[in-house]
Every structure is written in structure tokens, then in C-alpha cells.
Amino acid sequence: MEYAIVLVVNMDKDGIDAAPTMTELATTWRTYAQLGFLSLGMAQFIRGLGYNALPLINDTALSVPLAIDAGLGQLGRHGLLITPQFGPRCRICKVLTDLPLEIDWPIDFGVTAFCDVCKKCVDRCPVDAISKKERSYEAVSISSNGGALKWVFDAEKCRKYHMSIGTNCGICVRVCPFNKSSYWFHSVVRWFIENAPLLNPSLVKMDDVFSYGKFKEPEKFFWQSP
């Protein structure tokens, strides 16, 4: 099975804005449940066409590199996929298949240049798991794969912090400037990120001025009736 169909599902923004609480964790779990239904349904549909299909989430093959190759987004400094639509506020599943498919290609909408100057995820990471340094081909831990040019990420530090607080944190997703709703002015900013990278330092400062990425108490908004 030489082809991979890669799909992303966005996570609820209110839930992510409550990171690193249990509300954020519940948001993540709900998204994984959606990924399960999505990948299983896609695989069953392909099998109905007479081809083989293997539905996967985080097991068997790395999701982020496959999503990048499929043109769904770019790699962020925090080691997560950043998509044009949802930023890093998404989870990934894939279906491996022998169904003949037309191949997509990686895209570039300014993420690498922006992450070079932003570093908000670095500053907010409680355990310094995200590197301030330039991208490298080296691996820094047993959970890192060398040979690809990327920012170093210490998964051991990250996972130990997850265990200490009882959630999967999500602070780096919350504070990422690409974690925005689909308002027209956010689309304008994304256009500048893609087409005018010299403005990136100013756009990072603007993100701070408007207080984006701040923690929101879930009791104040998440459980309220509409």
C-alpha cells in the first residue's frame, strides 16, 4: 500500500484556550474520537471499491511528515503541523491504501519564516521542551528522528510534564499566533505572513497587543448555556 490519504480535524477553540486544564484534554479526546470514525469510514469506503485500506491515527507511520507531504500544512517550531485553516489546533489521521491516487505536494504559506522570529511557544513552554535555536538535522533524544531539517523538540520533557499535570498540556497550541478563528482580519494577517515576511516581527508584537493566546478559565465560558 504505497499511498496515504491524510485528514485533519480541527479542535474546539474554546477548549484549547483553556489549556492546560482537563477541558483542553477532553477537547483533544473528542477530536481523536472523530478521527477514529473518520479513518474507519474512509477505509471501509475504499474496501468497498475493491482495494486494501488501513485506518491509522498515531500508530504506524508519522502523521506530521505525511500531512506535510500531502500539502495540508507546514511544520511549526513546536513540532506540530500548522495548517492554513486551523493553525496547530488540529489532529491528524490517515488511511494507507493501494487505491491509485493523484499525489499532492507540500505547500509554503510562510510558517517557517514566521516561526524563525516568533518564539511564543518557546517562551510559554513550562519545561523548555521547544528549542530557541536554529533548525538542525540532529536528534536530541530517543524520541527524535534525525536527518530532517527542523527545530529540535525534546519529547521526553514534554511527556513528563503531561504526566505531572494529568493533561496533555496544549499551551504551545493555545499561544501559537496561527491559532485563530476564521475572521476576515485574521485572513488578512495570514496573507501578510505569506507574502510580506519582513513584517513578521511586527505581527508577533501585534498578537501580544491584542492579548491573543491568553489562558481562559473554562468555568467562565465553556459550561455556560447558549
User: Cα–Cα distances in Å, from 90 out to 83, 103, 179?
Assistant: 8, 22, 10
Q: Kindly state the DSSP code that residue 218 receives in the 8-state scheme.
A: G
Query: Are 33 and 120 in a shared domain?
Result: no
Contact between 76 and 114 under an 8 Å Cβ cutoff? The reply is: no
User: Cα–Cα distances in Å, from 175 out to 85, 180, 188?
Assistant: 16, 10, 19
Q: Show the cell assigned to 23.
A: 477541558
pLDDT of residue 226: 53
**Residue after which a domain boundary falls, among 97, 122, 157:** 97
Query: Are 117 and 205 in a shared domain?
Result: yes
pLDDT of residue 139: 83
Domain carrying residue 87: 3-97
Three-point CA angle 25, 172, 189, nearest 5°: 120
What is the distance between the alpha carbons of residues 9 and 14, in angstroms, rounded to a whole number? 15
Query: Are 117 and 197 in a shared domain?
Result: yes
Q: Show the cell assigned to 222.
A: 465553556
Query: Are 132 and 164 in a shared domain?
Result: yes
What is the distance between the alpha carbons of residues 63 and 55, in angstroms, rounded to a whole number? 12
User: Cα–Cα distances in Å, from 192 out to 114, 186, 195, 209?
Assistant: 11, 10, 5, 18
163: buried, middle or exposed (CB in 10 Å: 19+, 13-18, 0-12)? Answer: exposed
Query: Are 210 and 126 in a shared domain?
Result: yes
Look at residue 225 and tell me if it is in a domain.
no
Render each residue's pLDDT in the chain as its tens digit; 226 residues. 999 999 999 999 999 999 999 999 999 999 999 999 999 999 999 999 999 999 999 988 999 999 999 999 999 999 999 999 999 999 999 999 999 999 999 999 999 999 999 999 999 999 999 999 999 998 877 888 888 899 989 999 999 999 999 999 999 999 999 999 888 899 999 999 999 999 999 999 999 999 999 998 887 766 665 5
Query: Are 157 and 210 in a shared domain?
Result: yes
Look at residue 222 and tell me if it is in a domain.
no
pLDDT of residue 145: 82
Instruction: Please give the tally of structural domains in the chain.
Output: 2
Look at residue 189 and tell me if it is in a domain.
yes
pLDDT of residue 225: 53
